């Protein structure tokens, strides 16, 4: 089976997830990345803060 010549060498677009979907109605979510825990928080000003 051969690859489609039009798709060979084209990078995939990064996956996009809305912050509301990621946070699931909460103000913060814990993210486990390579054994480390991070907290993603939404501020009252509508900004996101990622802390270790």
Reported confidence tier of residue 8, pLDDT bands at 50, 70, 90: confident
Report the pLDDT value the prediction gives residue 14, as an integer from 0 to 100.
92
Q: Which CATH number fits domain 1-52: 3.40.50.720, 3.90.850.10, 3.40.50.10440, 2.10.70.10?
A: 2.10.70.10
Given a contact cutoff of 8 angstroms between Cβ atoms, the answer to whether 51 and 29 are in contact is no
Tokens of 32: 């486990």
Residue 17 pLDDT > 80: yes
Residue 26 pLDDT > 80: yes
Mean pLDDT of 33-51: 97
Edge-to-edge strand ranges of the sheet holding 36-42: 28-33, 36-42, 48-51
On whether the pTM is more than 0.75, the answer is no
Report the pLDDT value the prediction gives residue 40, as an integer from 0 to 100.
98
Domain range list for the chain: 1-52
């Amino acid at each position: 089976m051969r690859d489609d010549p039009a798709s060979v060498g084209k990078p995939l677009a990064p996956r996009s997830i809305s912050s509301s979907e990621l946070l699931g109605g909460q103000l913060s979510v814990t993210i486990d990345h390579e054994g480390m825990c991070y907290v993603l928080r939404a501020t009252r000003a509508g900004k996101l803060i990622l802390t270790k």
